[in-house]
């Protein structure tokens, strides 16, 4: 599980860095984390998010959960070891 925590932490950091770039440099995402879907002038077609942006949203939500779940499990294992050793 240690690898899951480190991998989740790296994905968490990388995904939020990419989200920062999406907001500030590429302007695909609004600061409220909503997709910037302003219609293209003259055509009236509204753009939709592609697979990379959808995966980025998923990574931004899933990576912190993986890290927190791993930390909680690690704490529970430590407590059961301590309680088991005292008996």
Beta carbons within 10 angstroms of residue 70's beta carbon: 19
Cα gap 59→20, rounded to integer Å: 14
For 31-86, how does the pLDDT look when each residue is reduced to its tens digit (9 = 90+)? 999 998 888 788 888 889 999 999 999 999 999 999 999 999 999 999 999 888 66
Please report the pLDDT score of residue 75 as a whole number.
Answer: 93
Lookup result for tokens 């690898």:
3
Residue 4: pLDDT band (50, 70, 90) is confident
Cα gap 53→17, rounded to integer Å: 13
pTM for this entry: 0.82
Task: Summarize the confidence of residues 21-38 as an average pLDDT.
Answer: 92
């Amino acid at each position: 599980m240690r690898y899951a925590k480190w991998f989740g932490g790296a994905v968490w950091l990388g995904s939020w860095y990419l989200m920062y770039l999406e907001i500030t440099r590429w302007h695909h995402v609004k600061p409220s984390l909503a997709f910037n879907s302003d219609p293209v002038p003259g055509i009236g077609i509204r753009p939709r998010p592609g697979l990379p942006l959808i995966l980025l949203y998923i990574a931004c939500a899933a990576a912190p959960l993986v890290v927190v779940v791993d930390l909680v499990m690690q704490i529970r294992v430590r407590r059961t070891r301590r309680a088991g050793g005292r008996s």
